[in-house]
Amino acid sequence: MDLDSAQISLIGHRQDNQDRAEVLFGDDSQLAIVADGMGGHARGDLAAETAVASLINSFRALRQNPLPSDEFFKRAISAAHEDVLALGAGMRPEIRPGTIIVSALINGNELRWAHIGDSRAYLLRDERVIARTQDQSMVGSLLAAGEITQAQALIHPERHMVQYCLGVDEETPPIPISDAIKLKKGDIVLLCTDGLWSQLGEAYIMEKLSNADDLQTALQILAEDAVRGGYPQSDNVTAVALRVVD
């Protein structure tokens, strides 16, 4: 399957950028990763780097040990959690860094994704969002249950509090893994941190990406709009997009 790819990461109005992103291409598979280091914990940047590196290693190991996509994510994200814990345990004084993560794996023309926290994955098709992750947060749970609206979720006082992350707690967090989705020509997979989606409506994101001649330019516009929307306290803004060409 032929794919266009693009990625961007802007610091926003923060002192440093704790987000990390990566796209890898294998023989007949692709892996995209976005990690959002948790600013409320020490060295969120290293936690994000460690988690991304761990998933990269797991993806490369697929060549020697092929696995179904769901089993890959169970093992890879559990390993990333252990690696982030080990990172903190190996520092002096010991710390408990944490990171949010979302990843998409394409095998042939089949897509699955997995996430921990509130970074999101979207699948855009025919100018519509046909699937996306559900945030692992109290606000995400309220929204899924229909107890609050999208508009209320955006201004909820606890909208930035996540229920789970990689690292911090010893217990491996629950890992939501999507059902397999067959991709079609023109489909766009978007992974992004809350620095992007919390500032821009889904309709606007969909419009910019669906009508984009160039994915990189579209991501640049979206990221810069998100930074402006969050002024003067905008978060780091990071996104990866993949578009099925053929």
CA 171 vs. chain centroid, Å, equals 21
Q: What residues have CB less than 8 Å from 246, skipping those under 6 apart?
A: 1, 2, 185
More confident residue, 118 or 91: 118
Name the average pLDDT for the chain: 92
Question: How much is the pTM?
Answer: 0.92
Asked if residue 3 is part of any domain, the answer here is: no
102 in a structural domain = yes
Least-confidence region, from 34-38, 63-67, 136-140, 198-202: 136-140
Q: Which residues pair with 33 in a beta bridge?
A: 22, 103
Q: What CATH number should be reported for the domain holding residue 227?
A: 3.60.40.10
219-to-23, 77, 116, 208, 239 alpha-carbon distances in Å: 15, 26, 23, 8, 7
Percent of the chain with pLDDT over 70: 96
Residue 99 has pLDDT above 90, yes or no: yes
Residue 221 in any domain: the answer is yes
Contact 146, 153 (CB under 8 A): no
33-74 per-position pLDDT tens digit? 999 998 766 789 999 999 999 999 999 998 888 899 999 999
The Cα–Cα gap between 192 and 9 comes to 10
pLDDT reported for residue 158: 66
Residue 1 identity (one-letter amino acid): M
**When comparing pLDDT for 207 and 145, which is higher?**
207
- 198 falls within a domain: yes
Which helix (H) or strand (E) element contains residue 30? Answer: strand 29-37
pLDDT for residue 57: 97
The β-bridge partners of 230 are none
Q: Which domain holds residue 45?
A: 9-244
Paired tokens of 31: 């892996």
Q: Is the pLDDT of residue 138 over 90?
A: no
Angle, CA of 53, 55 and 57, to the nearest 5°: 70
By the 8 A CB rule, do 100 and 166 touch?
A: yes
4 in a structural domain: no
Within a domain: 95: yes
Count of structural domains, the chain:
1
Between 72-76, 139-143, 155-159, 190-194, the lowest mean confidence (pLDDT) is in: 155-159
